Every structure is written in structure tokens, then in C-alpha cells.
Amino acid sequence: MSVRVEDFRAVSRPALILATLGVVIATVVGGFVLWKVVGLAPFPAFLFAALISPTDVATVLEIFARVNVPPRLATLVEMESVFNDATGIAVFAVVLAYTTEASVQPLVAVGDFAYSLGGGVLVGLAVAWGARQLQRGVKDTVSQVVLTVASAYGAFGVASSIPAIPSLHSTPSGVIAVAVTGLFYGNTVLGRLESKEVEDALRGFWKILAFFANGVAFFFIGVSTNIVSLADGIGAILVAYGVVVMARITSVYPIMSVTRVGGSLIPASWMNTTVLGGMRGALAIALVSAIGDSAIRAQVATLTFGVVMLSILLQGPLLVRYSGRAFGRQTQLPVPPGPSDSGPPSA
């Protein structure tokens, strides 16, 4: 909701490709390596690969605020995280649907993913458009806040209530619907409010809500982590973390090498930062609880908790050091990009 459409448009191609095709590549590569090379059973391997593929941007943005990361690189990483959460959930739901079946039909799986993704986008646009019409008759701050809450939960509820097409397993993605609603609403409604006070109140409300949600999610990580299981499975966790990093590399570098931002090639420093910024967090932990099979859930949970902790503890300091060296330390709070910020320098 806080991303300006101009900034999003400049980085939309690499961000959306990373958030969709990139997640699929990371899931397929990670799952295949865990299955064929490491020896994990196929469904746990691909369930883990699907839920661990989306990145968590909360820690990354805090680091970016302390270094001179180009604004459009920060937007690219943030937008990838916003949409790859939704894509990751859609891919995870497709894989989870097949845990009770004897075989996977590739065409049906592709149809499930397309229906989940496309349906979520359409629902998000429809709900945001409806909210925009209602907003024109709303003046006070409280009603504006209630309307944004109703839009978010309404988008999720409508998408989730639409039945699956016969022969498919999935429904339209509620998370994708919410992401699209937020992006559309933030640029067509919040940017046009007559009262600056109302806009500030709305953005402040959602910042607090986001902070609270992340706090609850990471608290859940703490109380759900079995230290004994992590200690016993440290070898498997290290292997899984290595596979996750490899899958991230195989998705980021090829995609960013053939896409552009502002008409310019994306420099290597941006690619390296995007790889290091691919930390994992709350979403992966939340998805573990959706696995019904207790044996598979216990196996996947140990790997997930361990990889999330390692990604934060290892990649966080590496990202601080690398981005500070590549872009310089921040001496004051970052300012929004101006008209001259046309993108990355030509390679």
C-alpha cells in the first residue's frame, strides 16, 4: 500500500518475474535436489522447497535504511517479497493438494497455479475498485481505516470462497488478492485523499498492524522451536540451508541478467544484494502449520525453523557488510527518489 506506482512500474518486470517464475524455479530446483540428491521423500522435499522459497523483507528493509542502497533496488526487493509471498502460498497449496494423491499430473498442477494466481489478481482488482467507489462517500478517519480493513479481509474472503474449477484443486489466492488490493488502493485512493492527516493516520495504522503481525509471527517461531530437535537435526538443517541458497542463486542471477530497470542492465551489485537479501521468516513458519500429516509436518518443521534462523543469523550480517561496501553507509534518513533516479547505471 505504501509503494508508489511510478517506482513499482520501473522495477515491475524483474520484481514480478522473480516473485513468480523465480519462486517456481527455486521450488523445483530445491525440491528436486532434496529428493534426488539428499534423499528426502518427494512430498516433504517439495513442500519444504515451496514454503521456504518466499523471502521475508522486514529485516532487509531495516538494513537498507542504514546504507545508501538505491531506492529502486529497495523497491525491487520489497515488491519481490510482497508478491512472492502470495506465489509461494499458491505453489505450496498446489503441492499440498497432491500429498494425498498417488501421482501428480503436470498439466493439472499448472492449471491449479494459473487459476490461483490469476483469480487472485482479478479479485484484488475488483475489491480495490469497489473500495475506491465507497471511499468517495467517506470523510472521517475512523471510517477510512475501517474501509481499508474491510478491503483487505474482504479481498481474502471473496477469493477464498470462490470454488475450485472441476478437475482442479485450488481456489483463487486470497493473499494475492490482498497484495493487489493494497497496491491498487494505495495508489488510487491514499494518494488522492484531500486530508493529509487522514492519509498519515491510515499509513500509521497499517504500520503498527504490520509490526504487530511480524512480532506475533516471530514469537510463534520462538515458542514453536524445539531446541532439542534442532540440535539433533543440525546436519540436515545445514544441508537444507545450502540447498535453499543454491536454489535462490539459480533463480536470481539468470532472471536479473536478462531484465532491465529504467532501460539499463542490472549491475552485479544489485544481483548480489538481492541474493543476500533473500532471508526467510514468518511466512515459512506459518505455512508449516497447514501441513496435516503430523509425520511430514514434524520433519518439515525442523528444517524450516533451522533454515529461517540460519538465514537471519548468517545473511543479515553479510548483507550489512556487503551493501555498506557496495553502496556506502547512510548518514541521514533516505529520501524518496526524484525525477533523476532513472534506475541502475549501465553495466
Per-domain boundaries in the chain:
5-327
Residue 226 confidence (pLDDT) above 50: yes
Q: Rg of the Cα trace of the chain?
A: 20
pLDDT tens column, 290-327: 888 888 888 898 899 899 989 989 998 999 999 989 88
pTM: 0.78
- Which residue has 480493513 as its cell numbers? 149
Domain 5-327: which CATH class?
A: mainly alpha
**pLDDT > 90? residue 242:** yes
3-state secondary structure of 264: strand
- Tell me the per-residue pLDDT of 168-216, one tens digit each, with 9 for 90 and over: 767 888 888 998 898 888 888 876 777 788 888 888 998 898 888 877 8
Predicted pLDDT at 49:
95
